[in-house]
Amino acid sequence: MKKILFTILLCSVLCVLSAQSRKQVRQYYYWINQAELAICDENLQLADSLYTRAFSIKKPLAREMRTAFWVAIQTENNEIILQIAKCRIELGDEGLAYSYQHSTQKFDSATYKQLLFLEENTPKTYHTEFDTILENLIERDQRYRMQGMGRSPEQFALDDENRKLIKQFYREYPDFNEYMAGFYYMGMLGVVLLHAVQTDHYDLQPLLRKKVMAGIFPAENYMEFESCWGDVHSSKGHQYGSELNNIYYIGNTLFVEQPENLKQINKNRMKLGLSETWQDAVKKCVWECEHNCYCITGNRNLKCFGDEEDDAAEAAKMKREIDAEHAAGDFHRMYYEKGSKASK
């Protein structure tokens, strides 16, 4: 009886802790979204303070650290610049002094020297042995693709092998993210996962979804993988609105097409723990396009129709179509020009 009571008590405690963790992750994503929207509203001082608030709730992921670092540079918040830089360098990031030097016109030599000192003297805190593991995954992922045989049975077999290895990997290391595997881990793992979702046996959705809701795995990558899987295997349509057909560039023009199931898309995003709606995501992409500054989402999805001249012709054709739709009162498609609001 005592064992049964202990088990019940332990389960209750774990449920409470899990609920608290999910609440913290939701709060984190709420303040991150507010910070990113503040950037779009040209209120960088507010964005700076909102990032600080979000980072006080949980450890930031790499994407948010990049943007917060850029904001701190623009607001000349040297204390935050150095704090974020130290964390990024501990996780294996490089070139932050150079980035600082070329990201502001109000260059502070003391901050630059401190960044150089951090780069030269800060020890790595992540487990560098994961570098080799990730490199091996990439080698298998690219083995036949490098020979132009990306759709060969041999490559598909390796993609499926990688899928199994990743699943086993997350079982052994449940908290696997940049704090364990380094700042650039998603750059390698993301490529492998993007190909793994295209296999017939892709079954990582439940695992990765749990990691997103625990604040361990980046939500934007999960939504991208799910969208890719849906395009290949599902007839459910757009799940998160991150598909290439919704937000994409042709040449220097950003095109945005509102999905038909927008209400369901925003519900799906909310279920992940995000407060960012599809409309919020579009606002960020538009700001990046018009300012030619990809510091928030980094979304540069490209559709190509041939060479530069072919792309320009296709973009011009689509803009004429959209202009006609707008004249008729239909605004489900929009377009924006790259750099139209960039500072000279």
- The parts of the chain modelled with pLDDT lower than 70 are 1-20, 231-238, 243-244, 343-344
Convert the pLDDT of each residue in 275-305 to its tens digit.
999 999 999 999 999 999 999 988 778 888 8
Structure tokens of 235? 């007839």
Are the CB atoms for 184 and 133 separated by under 8 Å? no
Cα distance between residue 206 and residue 208, in whole Å: 6
Contacts of 31 (CB under 8 A, 6+ apart): 50, 51, 53, 54, 57
Give the DSSP H or E segment for 98.
Answer: helix 96-101
Structure tokens of 309? 């001249």
pLDDT at 231: 67
Structure tokens of 305? 């129709």
pLDDT at 6: 39
Cα distance between residue 255 and residue 303, in whole Å: 10
pLDDT at 19: 45
How many other C-beta atoms can be found within 10 angstroms of the C-beta atom of residue 192?
A: 20
CA–CA distances in Å: residue 145 to residues 44, 70, 232: 43, 35, 19
Cα distance between residue 42 and residue 143, in whole Å: 45
Are the CB atoms for 180 and 127 separated by under 8 Å? yes
pLDDT at 104: 79
CB-based burial label for 151 (10 Å; 0-12, 13-18, 19+): exposed
Domain limits, the chain: 2-90+92-121, 126-235, 241-344
Chain-centroid distance of CA 55 in Å reads 17
Cα distance between residue 118 and residue 184, in whole Å: 18
Phi, psi of 337 (to 5 degrees): -95, 135
Cα distance between residue 61 and residue 216, in whole Å: 8
Q: Please tell us whether the domain made up of 2-90+92-121 is placed in CATH 1.25.40.
A: yes
pLDDT at 11: 38
pLDDT at 5: 38
Nearest to 253 by CA among 317, 296, 307: 317
CB-based burial label for 254 (10 Å; 0-12, 13-18, 19+): buried
* Angle formed at CA 77 by CA 72 and CA 78, multiple of 5 degrees: 105
* Angle formed at CA 276 by CA 232 and CA 54, multiple of 5 degrees: 125
